[in-house]
Each structure stands twice: as structure tokens, then as C-alpha cells.
A and B are shown apart, each in its own frame.
With several copies, the nearest count.
Chain A
Amino acid sequence: MTQNYLDLRAATEARDRSLRSKVMTLEKATEIVQDGDHIAIGGCTASRTPLAMIWALIRAKKNDLSISRSIVSTEGDLLFGSGICDHIITSWFSQGIVWGISKVMRSYTETKRAKFEEWSHMSLGLRYRAGAMGIPFMPTRAMMGSDVANQLENLREIECPFTGDKLLLVPALNPDVALIHVQRCDEYGNAQIDGLQFMDLDLAMAANKVILTTENIVSNDQIRRRPDQTKIPFLTVDAVVEVPYGAAPHECYGMYEPFFKHMDDYADLTKDDPDNGVAKYLDRYYYEPSNWPEYLSLLGVEQMLDATRRGRSIYDV
């Protein structure tokens, strides 16, 4: 996974990084992802998960993807359950604390049909950051001595040449593609992200390609009025897809909170027979709808309104 520096640069150089419109459909954007790619997913747990893009990738029946994300929630179940991915790199993997341990994750990993490769939260963040900075590793003082580190192959320990301190070096991670959902961006891919940023800025810079989904496409003029609010520069972006409620039933900061009832129902559905539960869920919500608005209709307008009311309340202070 530690990419050769000159290969990384060559890949970047080969991209068209000029100021050009990158607006396309979800379906078209799936063509950017190749079978076998390593995909990094933006957001964290049930927040700003690029679910519309994941939905499209599952429908496009991609193969053999590996995935990394700071913390993985229900999208991990669906990636395993759909068969498009059998290897997830993350620090924590379950729907969320209130719903207990993911039965789907357990089922797939305990039967060894899929791999959950565990890194500490910060060390995964540092891997993206090293990738974003164009250096092959980042030193850290964490994770030493633990079985988390013992289980990983791609680590090195050194004695600091300045201080003599023992340090762990974690390797850079430059994903093939990063999927990031934002509140707004322009047609070129200049993105603003409100609220929690998670690891998304490093992700965008580290990745070889970036697909942005956005609640709303705004004018480049609006972006240029407050350039200090741009969090992801257009240079790094290869696709822009406008998808309202593109993180539903997860949360998008300031716009909607999680669709809690739907999340409860999902937990119930996958509790007793996780394999069949996730298959049923995929059929109903991923394969049967003919487009994203149909998917949203299945979530239901009532839940949309409720999640939106709660989402907007964060600014009522």
C-alpha cells in the first residue's frame, strides 16, 4: 500500500487538474472506481458518509475493493454484504455504540469471508496525512507495545536520530479514490465543509482521485467570495455529483441528523440472521429503487423532515 513516490507523482501529473466542470451523475462517477482499487471513505461513523456514492458503487457491482475509513458504521455491513469489498481498514467497526456490535461485521469476519484490519484511530489519520504531505511515513508515539501494532505488518520502529526516543513509523496511505460528501461545492470541486471535518481534508490530498458528492452545487463566484472557507481545492477533485440527502440515513452536519428510526429498523433486521438481513436490506433499498429519489422515498418523507428539523437545530444557539 506504500506507493512509490515517483509513481504517485506520475499519477497526479497525468490527471487533468485544470479549472473545468466535473459535474456528472452518480452512475458516471462509478466509472472512476476500478475493480481492485483501495477506496477511502470520508466522514466518520454515521456522519457525512457518502452513502449515495456507495449505493451507486454497490449497484454497479464493483469487485474486490478494499476500503479504509476513520470509523465504519452501517456502510461497512453493506460493503461486505454486497460482495464488492472483503477488506476494511479502520479503527472501529459497528453501527454505533447505542446499537451494539454489528452482527454483519461479526458474521463476515468470524467466518473469515472478509477482513477487518484494525489500526488505531490516530495512526490511520497519520497514514492519510503522510499521504497528503507526499512523505512515505509519519512518526508517532502511540500504538507501540499493543497487539494492535503486533498484528500489523507494515510498521517500523526507529530510535529518533535527534532525541533517542523510540518512535513508531506508520506508512503513508494514498488511496486510489476518496469518496467525500460535503454540504456544498462548485462545479469544479472547490468544497466547503461545515462542522466536523473528520479526516476528509487529508483524504482529498492523499488520494489519487476524489469523487465529491454534495448536497448542493453553488457558483464558483460564491466560493471565491470567501476562499478561506474552501476546505478541499478543485485541483484534487475528479467528479462532482449533486445528491441531496446524499448521506441519508446518516447525518450531514447542520442539514440533517441520522434517520434514527431507520437505523433502529436496520439494527433489528440484521440482528438475528445478519446475512439474510443485510441481503434483504440491499434488495429493498439498494437494488430495487431505480434512482436516488426513489431510495429516499423508501426512507420516507416523514423521517426526512424529522432528521432535517433536528439537523438544522445545531445553528439555533
Chain B
Amino acid sequence: MMSEELPYSASEMLSVMSGRLLTDGQTVFAGVGIPLLAATLAQRIHGPGITILFEGGTLGPFVVPGELPASTNEQRCTRRANMLLSITDVLLLLQRGYVDVGFMGGAQIDRYGNLNSSFIGSPENPSVRLPGTGGGNDISSLTQMIVAIKHEKRRFVEKVDFVTSPGFLTGNSTRHDTGLISGGMYRVVTDLAIMGFDEMTKSMKVEALHPGVTAEEVRDNTGFDILIGKDVSVTKAPTDEELSVLRHLDPDRVYIA
């Protein structure tokens, strides 16, 4: 876990690190919260040509600092947008292949990058009925994914209780074989590290550690046997510029607290 004296919160870390994964010119399907912050941060810092899509039906909005939307389905999401579409049509952009990256969170993730946002416990007798997939299943079925999630053992599990949003299913070619011939997990970003997936087995693998974090720490906070790449790099700490842009976007610290 982050030590107390770091000059940024875990959420700020997630936003900065995942924002850096986006490339200029990409079209990014983002949920509200950290994904939206990360994509907007990327726009301001290095990717002015990044286009954000919201599942409520918004294409290419300018998010107004301090007026972050509470859902993807309200008018705040549409401010200075290039276009509004129906929900079904904006999601169909994924199926047509117009989206480069999907960007979301999740309650649980497993070794193969499957996400659960439906049930904690068995679906028949859950201990918690979660809110459900929303567009998550569609996004992860149809495009390359970045997941931003806090690194905790209860979240990083051997097998998710329920596959809401498919990652690589049970690894190897199982995702492709089930009919999901495009997309797949690209990166998982946490407050400890950045993970990718083994090219063959599709098992989760640490690609980079955040400054001051050890591989041991990552293992301790992961509920399955996570691969550690041989050439694990170390990320650069969030810069002052990044943090100040983030804090300008979310002055009330609704999402970055």
C-alpha cells in the first residue's frame, strides 16, 4: 500500500498512470470517475487529439473542470460535445471497430483479466448483489481494455465469482474460441503496478512497478500467482503538472480523494 507521506492519493496515482497509457488520436470509451479523469488528463498533457465516448451517447465532449458528471447519462456529459447519439448507436461504434480503448473499473478481477461487477458470492445466493455490467460487458467484448482498480487481495482473485466483463476467460485462446475475436485486456493499472498479460497463456503479468513498490508487495496484495516479467520497469512518479491538472479538473476531490 502507498505509504502515508506520498504527495498524491491512490486515486490520483491510478488516474495519472492509466492516462499515460493513452496515445494521441485514440478514441476512448470511458466510464465516469477515474477513467474520465485519466482520459481528460491525457488530453490536456500529451493527447489533444484523444476523443472520449460516454455510453450515455456522447461523442467528443469537453469536460468542464469542477463540473464532473456523476454518470455517463446526464447533460453534464454532453457539454461542448461534437455529437450526441443514442445509447445503442454509441455502443455500436465499439462493434463497428471505431473505438481504440475501453477504460473502466471493477469490483473483482482475476488472473485472466475477467471482471466482476455483478455478484459477490454465488449468483444464486450472493452476499452482495452489485449494480451490474452497464456497458462493461459490451466494451470488454469488443475492444482493447484498460482497467483501473485498487490493488487489494479481495479484488485480485484467482477466479471472479461471476464473469461480467470478459477478459481472456480461462486463458490461451478461450476468448477467441468463444466468438470474441477482437479486443481483449491490454493493461491493468493499480496503485502498485501496471500489469499486462502473457502473450500465450494470457495470465496476468507485472510490467512495471510504481516508484518505491516491490514485487513482493504486489504478490502480497494479489490473490493469485501473478507473473512478474523479467524486465519489469519502474514508472515515473506523477509529475506536478499532472497532479495540478487533475486537481484543477476535480477541485472538490469527488473522485481523486
Contact = CB atoms under 8 A, between A and B. Distances in A.
Contact of A147 (B80, B162, B174): B162
From DSSP, what is the main secondary structure of chain B's interface residues? loop
A282 interface: no
B71 interface: yes
A97 B72 CA distance: 10
Interface stretch (B1-9, B129-137, B232-240): B129-137
A197 interface: yes
B49 A46 contact: no
A203 to B, nearest CB: 10
A109 B132 CA distance: 13
B65 interface: no
Contacts of A253: 75, 78
B75 A91 contact: no
A90 B83 contact: no
A197 B71 contact: no
A148 B118 contact: yes
B82 interface: yes
B180 A17 contact: no
Interface string A234-261: 1110000000000000010110011000
A291 to B, nearest CB: 28
Contacts of B174: 145
A201 B156 CA distance: 40
B44 to A, nearest CB: 14
B75 A254 contact: yes
A18 interface: yes
B19 interface: no
Interface stretch (A78-86, A128-136, A271-279): A128-136
Interface string B41-85: 000000011110001111111100000001101111111111111
Nearest to A145: B178
A303 interface: no
Nearest to A227: B81
Interface stretch (A22-30, A160-168, A209-217): A160-168
Contact of B135 (A120, A190, A258): A120
A157 B87 contact: no
Contact of A141 (B57, B70, B133, B142): B142
Interface stretch (A6-14, A50-58, A59-67, A292-300): A6-14
Contacts of B56: 44-45, 47, 196, 198
Given A106-B128, A145-B178, A13 B97 contact: yes
Contact of B60 (A101, A120, A165, A234): A234
A110 B126 contact: yes
Nearest to B60: A19
Nearest to B137: A120
B11 interface: no
Interface stretch (B24-32, B146-154, B215-223): B24-32
B169 interface: yes
A18 B24 contact: yes
A148 B164 contact: yes
Given A116-B129, A234-B60, A17 B142 contact: no
Interface stretch (B88-96, B186-194, B203-211, B243-251): B88-96
B201 interface: no
Contact of B96 (A143, A205, A224): A205
Which of the listed residues A45, A121, A228, A235 has the most CB atoms from chain B within 10 Å of its own CB? A121
A123 B94 CA distance: 13
Contacts of B91: 121-122, 125
A67 to B, nearest CB: 15
Contacts of A234: 60, 82
A91 B95 CA distance: 18
B179 interface: yes
B126 to A, nearest CB: 6
Nearest to B83: A230
Given A19-B51, A71-B134, A195-B78, A145 B73 contact: no
B133 A121 contact: yes
Contacts of B33: 97
The 5 closest A-B pairs by CB, nearest first: A125-B88, A18-B49, A166-B179, A145-B178, A18-B25
Interface of A: 5-6, 8-9, 12-13, 16-20, 44-47, 70-71, 90-94, 96-98, 101-102, 105-106, 109-110, 116, 118, 120-123, 125-126, 128-129, 132-135, 140-148, 151, 157, 165-168, 188, 190, 195-202, 205, 220, 223-224, 227-228, 230, 233-236, 251, 253-254, 257-258, 311, 314, 317
21 contacts: A44-B73, A46-B74, A47-B75, A96-B70, A98-B70, A118-B118, A122-B138, A132-B96, A134-B96, A141-B179, A142-B137, A144-B141, A145-B169, A146-B163, A166-B179, A196-B84, A197-B84, A197-B86, A202-B88, A251-B75, A314-B79
Given A91-B134, A133-B92, A190-B83, 19 more contacts: A18-B49, A19-B49, A45-B71, A97-B33, A116-B129, A121-B133, A144-B141, A146-B141, A148-B137, A196-B57, A196-B75, A197-B84, A198-B87, A202-B88, A220-B82, A227-B82, A230-B84, A235-B93, A236-B98
